[in-house]
Structure 1
């Protein structure tokens, strides 16, 4: 067991080109944009939802980063969570670590704001309630589409400010209550100025991490709460185990076929080629030397493992990942998946003997199926997941070899947007027909009030979620495929997917024919059919191969 496996995520991971999707998804945890932005990343298969907040509790509404980080943590580290879809070309544990780190930064800010709330708010509660009511009314007015009503928001704040000055000068109380009333009017405002400085500092920190992640920097996610320092730290141990379980599930060899949605995590099936011929003995008297599907699959595995080797030193395939997969069918509209269980499964991995049995026996009727996959999960800096799946079946005397192509495109561009400093264009004082750009503060007055109000009840996230709303993640959920786009709009990505089909198909046929010849099978029909397929695959084009036009 390695140091990191035991102690959890502590060492900052260096940036790398292949981590672009990981860092893009992780950067969302640090964003301060509106929560509704998540809907911009929806695609034809997955529609994100934003839980409606209570109309009277707009002040508790989370921003994008707050809602996203909490949603990802709850979904991926929950004790009774549903199974997750693997995120090929991405490291979900790194994303979750950054969500935890972002929440820790916000908790530290909220601790300071809570202390300010107690000193400047709770001790002067009447004044705090009045100011909160004023800001809430102003926020409601500014949200109104009617310009007259929205303009009243600023006027309301000005009127209250003038009223406060008059109240300070001519307080109706005497003695102790006179000074307390003045404190109620002034101290919450002073607390607001201190809170603004705290919020500005945290906002700069979060935005700095957001930008560094998207620039390929080595921003580490420090999660000290995941490192138990003594046996009695149950919460830290539970978090460490949850992160370890997440990593184990990411390495699972079990995937799910969701009809027209394709294999979840690998993308839709864009092409399919079939080689199916009768097994005829080379010598009718001697017959066929017996073999099973697994014999053919092993030969194909060996052939695909050396795809990166070639005689001409002019580039070629990078080293592929060749792996045996157990594929389970789920409905197109399934809201959850269920992984194989039992004695044949250990640490989310179907054992090799069980994989071989499924390959040999489960070729017809219900049950899981075996596929041999050759995959490149880090093409185009991780933006293209290219997978070719091969399955071998023998029914009666017919051997059938199926090669299918799956492709998953880049993460939606929403997650690649870098932070932009808030600016505003205003007319010049003298040359009023010209405009100039002025910088605005990172944290507005309303934002300070919102953060301070959320900090007061931040110790209980379910209440915050009930009051302010939350992001609903698409199911079955996997970080990579939930917000992935199709690769076919990118010319070179599409070319790479199409070009891979021909050499892989030929390698598969070469291995099959070699095995058949070794087992005394007449390979003439197979060779003719393979030659025809080799010619037709040169004109490969992406299609919706999983949509049967019946």
Structure 2
């Protein structure tokens, strides 16, 4: 990053003038989908739960820990994986997350990490005070808890593990009672067993307070309270703060990539970030002059696309006051790049025809007119509806091709469903059922502390290593995200399981298809083309689209 006349100019060409600025956190982009995904950064549930949320587009991989005592929970692993993948210096291209704001989600991961670092700094001090002078005792206690976790089954404490820990504690008490009380080493032996327990008590208070803060943020996001992420490390105070300036630059770059007009088609996986095709409608007829003895006025595919674009922009307007599209659809020109079904990464184009991940307008027009057959990228006009507070993303793509004397107009429907229910679950107090004292045949719910003994030991053991993340990843394992990675499509469910969402997808197709055909026929008439067969075919499609059912069009199965 270099500075020119007070402006921050990155090496890759991004200009984020005027330098140090306060990021806008928690803005209008905090929709339901954004908040649900951001809440994962604050969660304290087991990491294994993430495997329940994976969609068909790929599965997250959990790297097994070398020592289970250092294993992260879901919030810790999620925050670490997202930051590394989306802000790392050598990161690969990302898939757009339609219906969400990735920058807000990453900011919440940074904020959750900051809260945990403040806790870990205090725990590290306790570990140093109790561990340096009384290291043998700390190692004995950690060894006992590691053995307990090793004997646990499916993450649940086993009877054998608890019995082993109890026997070790009992043996230690008996040994301490029988030791003499005058010499130094017997006194030290007593201290090395007792002092770690005292340190554990102080650590428990710190962990409890942090757990309450994290759960409040988790609850606030899902309640829609607009909880803002606090990351002062992203606000450089002067030009010399390289780390803060780099973080701010990477966050801005993330938002720029989200606005890219290049998407990737991965075969049966559909367009990454938009979902698979659930429907497809084609209008293909021969171009003939409207009157014999005359010729058709020359026109290009771009002329038809431009007319369709203008018509789609009018969808939000209607002479009937009955509701309809309450939110204006987004109409954009997309460049679709083909990648393999099993591709593990994608790359975005660069060069003189691109600007901040965007293909320039003249190149978009050239692709529309020239690249209609054979290899290369293709142009699509897309109308996108972001509904249900970001939980449902409907995209209808229109492409126009002219081969010889045949005009072909194709409309395809893509749907991306809500984020998995794992991310919408709110925090609940930890309870267990116990028998009543007098009416022993009845039970009652007893509220448990948020942090139990084993969790305090895990957090205290991890705390000194959090300053060396690669070492902690090696010992405790980590979350490996599926590639090509995008925050939204990786954890999206099918919309067809929700009746109203499925209805919205089916209803949106009909007015879009009719607007496309009306605009196309208008261009053909203006250029002296016989539109009788086009209009007839359009009427047939209008009838078919009313009874269309969702199907796996990308797998070519009805």
TM over 0.5: yes
- What residue in structure 2 maps to residue 65 of structure 1? 75
The match for 1:370 among 372, 379, 393 is 379
CA distance in 1, matches of 2:188, 2:105: 49
- What residue in structure 2 maps to residue 204 of structure 1? 212
The match for 1:83 among 73, 93, 99 is 93
- What residue in structure 2 maps to residue 13 of structure 1? 26
- What residue in structure 1 maps to residue 39 of structure 2? 27
- What residue in structure 2 maps to residue 132 of structure 1? 142
CA distance in 1, matches of 2:353, 2:383: 24
Number of residue equivalences: 544
- What residue in structure 2 maps to residue 270 of structure 1? 278
Matches within 5 A, 1:457-496: 457-496=465-504
The match for 2:367 among 346, 358, 370 is 358
The match for 1:442 among 450, 473, 479 is 450
- What residue in structure 2 maps to residue 239 of structure 1? 247
Distance 1:340 1:185, change over 3 A: same
Whether 1:43 and 2:55 are equivalent positions in the alignment is yes
SS at 1:485 equivalent: coil
- What residue in structure 2 maps to residue 104 of structure 1? 114
SS at 1:539 equivalent: coil
CA distance in 1, matches of 2:534, 2:455: 70
- CA shift, 1:12, in A, is 4.3
Contact preservation (8 Å) 1:269, 1:405: yes
Whether 1:190 and 2:198 are equivalent positions in the alignment is yes
- What residue in structure 2 maps to residue 52 of structure 1? 64
Whether 1:451 and 2:464 are equivalent positions in the alignment is no
CA distance in 2, matches of 1:443, 1:145: 16
TM-score when normalising by structure 2: 0.94
Distance 1:198 1:499, change over 3 A: same
Contact preservation (8 Å) 1:15, 1:219: no
Contact preservation (8 Å) 1:21, 1:410: yes
CA distance in 1, matches of 2:20, 2:494: 38
* Cα deviations by residue, 1:493-527 (Å, 9 ceiling, x for unpaired): 11111111111111111101111111111111111
SS at 2:466 equivalent: coil
- More displaced, 528-537 or 174-183? 174-183
Whether 1:390 and 2:398 are equivalent positions in the alignment is yes
The match for 1:249 among 257, 268, 271 is 257
Distance 1:348 1:15, change over 3 A: closer
Distance 1:8 1:432, change over 3 A: farther
- What residue in structure 1 maps to residue 342 of structure 2? 333
* Cα deviations by residue, 1:58-109 (Å, 9 ceiling, x for unpaired): 1100000000110111111111111111000001100000001111110100
CA distance in 1, matches of 2:21, 2:469: 24
- CA shift, 1:342, in A, is 1.6
SS at 1:289 equivalent: coil
The match for 2:105 among 83, 95, 99 is 95
Distance 1:143 1:182, change over 3 A: same
CA distance in 2, matches of 1:425, 1:7: 54
TM-score when normalising by structure 1: 0.95
CA RMSD between the two structures: 2.1
SS at 2:546 equivalent: helix
- What residue in structure 1 maps to residue 127 of structure 2? 117
- More displaced, 177-186 or 136-145? 136-145
CA distance in 2, matches of 1:479, 1:440: 34
CA distance in 2, matches of 1:324, 1:94: 25
Contact preservation (8 Å) 1:84, 1:476: yes
Contact preservation (8 Å) 1:9, 1:222: no
